[in-house]
Amino acid sequence: MCEFNATPAWIMLYLGRPRYPNTRMKKILLLALATSFALLNAAQAIPFISVVRPASWTLANQGQINFDSSLPSGVFISTNGDQYTGVRDGSLGLNPGISAPPPGDTSNYYTVGAYGTATFSFTSTQDSLSFLWGSIDAYNVLQFSLGDGPITTILGSQIPDFAGLQTADGAARVTFTNLLFDHVTFSNSPNIYAFEFDDINTTAVSVPDGGSTLTLLGLALTGIAVARRKMSALVA
């Protein structure tokens, strides 16, 4: 029978052989390290994606971020690119060759032009994102990141049963879970018009913000080094 030790070998080597009297400190530091690695793994995990078709969702003004009122506290938008990136009035209908509101949405919605990007930044770490995706096009791109960590990229072509139609059949409320992020960027690749969306909802979690996961890991390693020097002095 083979047993698997979940503690990475390099950690065990760094902690040293079990010749020190203070094993409680080791357990605490191992727990800190395990927590750090769990957070890193969550930030890099493959998101779960769920799609709800039109018959089951309510249109406009169902999101924390709905573009008809001020942004919630702790949320910021930065844009880059063309003049067609920004909030548009859904009651104006189709803007030929440029954008179209989510089907039935006569409220304000957001559109990202062919050469634009829109990044939503959060002051606290989030673990889910849900929004009304106007027409799920293969070239629509979502990028999630936590602090300076790796970027998780989702393409419209990865959404189950995407259609890319400017009708109710091509729209859906899409939810992403099993990830940690404090930035999400909407764009298009290749540069084709457009990425339209509305009614964004996110869920905040009580974990360190931004790059603090790496900071926690660094502190844990520093703590191990200090503890080992102290214990070495005791047995010297």
Q: Which domains does the chain have, with CATH numbers?
A: 46-204 (2.60.120)
Mean pLDDT score, 126-154: 93
The reported pLDDT for the residue numbered 154 is 95
Mean pLDDT score, 78-84: 90
What are the beta bridge partners of residue 39? none
pLDDT reading at 13 higher than 50: no
Mean pLDDT score, 152-163: 87
pLDDT reading at 21 higher than 70: no
pLDDT band at 26 (very low <50, low <70, confident <90, very high): low
pLDDT reading at 10 higher than 60: no
Question: Chain-wide mean pLDDT for the chain?
Answer: 77
The tokens describing 89, both together, are 């009035």
pLDDT reading at 77 higher than 70: yes
The tokens describing 146, both together, are 């936590």
Mean pLDDT score, 99-112: 90
